[in-house]
């Protein structure tokens, strides 16, 4: 039961984007379409799961004083792996996510989970925590990307519903802030109702 909550808490109750407000830069930067949001979310999930696992495995060997730099090196290694693999096999997605792939290193969610959870818990719980948080992040990004894509270019996952563009401003920078603002307000309302 306990392991199960480790996994599910990341979706709604402690959703990294909507509730904890972490990792705002990629959230706003890449969500011009649902596909981009999903791609970024899954890339972050991979880094989060692997870094949580490794940090948890080495947590008893790393001296307390150098733990943050060590965590950063572990995270940066996995980010480099994602970067190279994506560049080789998914060049289009890599192109559209651009700068935000290397910036997974400074995503506060990854370092935050390493420090707050993985450095104190067993590998299995850390793995589940990373997967849950990562998928919660991916869910938030896909939702935000989906809403922006629907309002801005009247499409979902690249499939056109109506010909042409709708309100283009939602694809541009201001739309990201405004849609996220309303989504957080709605989630707050839902969380209160429960």
Partner 1 sequence: MEYFVIIVGSIFVSNIVLTQFLGVCPFLGVSGKLDTSIGMGGAVIFVLTLATLVTWIIQYYVLNPFGLAFMQTIVFILVIASLVQMVEIILKKVSPSLYSALGVFLPLITTNCAVLGVAILTIQKDFGLLEGVVYAMSNAIGFTLALVIFAGIREHLDLMEVPKGMKGVPIALIVAGILALSFMGFTGLV
List of residues contacting partner 1 (CB under 8 A): 21-26, 28-29, 69, 72-73, 76-77, 79-80, 83-84, 99, 102-103, 105-108, 111, 169, 172-178, 180-182, 184-185, 188-189
Quick one: 101 or 128, whose CB is closer to partner 1?
101
Closest approach, Cβ 32 to partner 1, in A, equals: 11
Quick one: 21 or 124, whose CB is closer to partner 1?
21
Q: CA-CA distances (angstroms) from residue 78 to 24, 43, 90?
A: 20, 10, 17
Quick one: 43 or 176, whose CB is closer to partner 1?
176
- Give the start-end residues of each E strand in 44-181: 155-156, 159-160
Closest approach, Cβ 129 to partner 1, in A, equals: 20
Measured distance CA(74)–CA(55) in Å, rounded: 8
CB of 57 closer than 8 Å to CB of 29 = no
Closest approach, Cβ 122 to partner 1, in A, equals: 26
Closest approach, Cβ 158 to partner 1, in A, equals: 22
Closest approach, Cβ 84 to partner 1, in A, equals: 7
Question: Roughly how many angstroms between the first and final C-alpha of the chain, as a whole number?
Answer: 21
Quick one: 163 or 192, whose CB is closer to partner 1?
192
CB of 72 closer than 8 Å to CB of 111 = yes
Q: How far is CA 149 from the centre of its chain?
A: 18
- Give the start-end residues of each E strand in the chain: 155-156, 159-160
């Amino acid at each position: 039961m306990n392991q199960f909550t480790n996994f599910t808490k990341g979706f709604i109750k402690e959703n990294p984007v909507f509730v904890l407000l972490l990792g705002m830069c990629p959230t706003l930067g890449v969500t011009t379409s649902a596909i981009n949001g999903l791609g970024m979310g899954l890339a972050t999930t991979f880094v989060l799961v692997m870094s949580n696992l490794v940090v948890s495995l080495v947590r008893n060997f790393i001296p307390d004083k150098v733990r943050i730099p060590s965590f950063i090196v572990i995270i940066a290694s996995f980010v480099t792996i994602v970067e190279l693999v994506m560049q080789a096999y998914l060049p289009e997605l890599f192109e559209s996510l651009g700068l935000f792939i290397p910036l997974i290193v400074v995503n506060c969610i990854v370092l935050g989970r390493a420090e707050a959870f993985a450095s104190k818990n067993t590998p299995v719980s850390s793995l589940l925590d990373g997967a849950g948080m990562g998928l919660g992040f991916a869910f938030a990004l896909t939702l935000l990307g989906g809403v922006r894509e629907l309002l801005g270019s009247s499409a979902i996952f690249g499939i056109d519903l109506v010909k042409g563009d709708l309100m283009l401003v939602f694809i541009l920078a201001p739309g990201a802030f405004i849609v996220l603002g309303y989504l957080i307000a709605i989630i707050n309302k839902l969380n209160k109702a429960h």
